[in-house]
Amino acid sequence: MKKYKYTFLSLMFVVLFLMGSMAAANAILKRRETRLLSERGGIKVESPVRAWEGGENGDEGVDGIDTNDKKNPLSMEQAEEAVKSWNDRTGVTLHGQVAGQVSMEEAIEHGKKWLDGMGIGDGNEEGSFGINAELGVGRQKEDIEQREAYFSFWTVTYFNQSMNAVLYLNAVTGNVWGAEIKLYEEQAKKMPDGRLRLFVELAGFQAADEVSSAMDSEETTSEVKIKESQLYAQEMSYAMAVWPGNSYEYIAYQLLVRQP
């Protein structure tokens, strides 16, 4: 019995010793973590984009694009870079707003005005849409440390019973540079003629030539060049029957960079 008691006490001592050692180690690590955080003020996660220092202050010496008495804060070269990067994205990295970018509230309001200007829904009717919004920069095949703020886009979705629209707004200009729209019921009939040229104008650019269109089966594609740039705008549309007596029209807009 004495032998068993001795063995039992020895095991208990070992268990208590191990538990005490683990508790002491955790306490030491916790104190070190607290000390490091207090010294550095917390852990900072670096944004994938840097604050915008161009625009009105002219910090980069860049003249913006003049169109319709409004000043686009980006040069045409910067606009081309942003469009190409966004179109070549392999995914999107979400991030918080940085200095020089429009806020979520501003992006949503810009999107509503764009819908109203394009004759889609009523952008001024409060509560007429369900809305989702997120800010992100396109991921590229090759890792890039930090991009300029104008590489980011707000993706804002508006939806109700008559339409579903996903708009892509450049985060610095606040203009819609791409859209994917489903129009139900009679909405598609309300859209104005010359809507591709209107898209270019609302994007902050000027169309250079007449719109060229091509029809393939039931799909129509229209394109127009943008003045003094390698950019051009494209509209693609087609009608889709969901079931007998119910259909929708799909319309997509995007800016593209023509290779020299």
Which of the pair, 249 or 9, is modelled with greater confidence? 249
Confidence band of 240 (pLDDT split at 50, 70, 90): confident
pLDDT in tens, 175-200: 999 999 998 865 555 555 688 999 99
CA 96 to chain centre: 11
**Residue 61, pLDDT score:** 36
161 to each of 129, 148, 168, 178, 237, how far by Cα in Å? 9, 38, 21, 22, 20
Residue 18 has pLDDT above 90, yes or no: no
Nearest to 171 by CA among 231, 70, 233, 95: 95
Nearest to 98 by CA among 70, 138, 136: 136
Across 113-140, average pLDDT = 81
User: Which amino acid type is present at position 103?
Assistant: S
pLDDT in tens, 75-117: 999 999 999 999 999 999 999 999 999 999 999 999 999 999 9
pLDDT in tens, 28-53: 777 776 676 665 554 555 788 889 87
What is the chain's Cα-based Rg? 28
**Residue 124, pLDDT score:** 46
**Residue 220, pLDDT score:** 87
Q: Give 128: exposed, middle or buried? Use CB within 10 Å, 0-12, 13-18, 19+.
A: middle
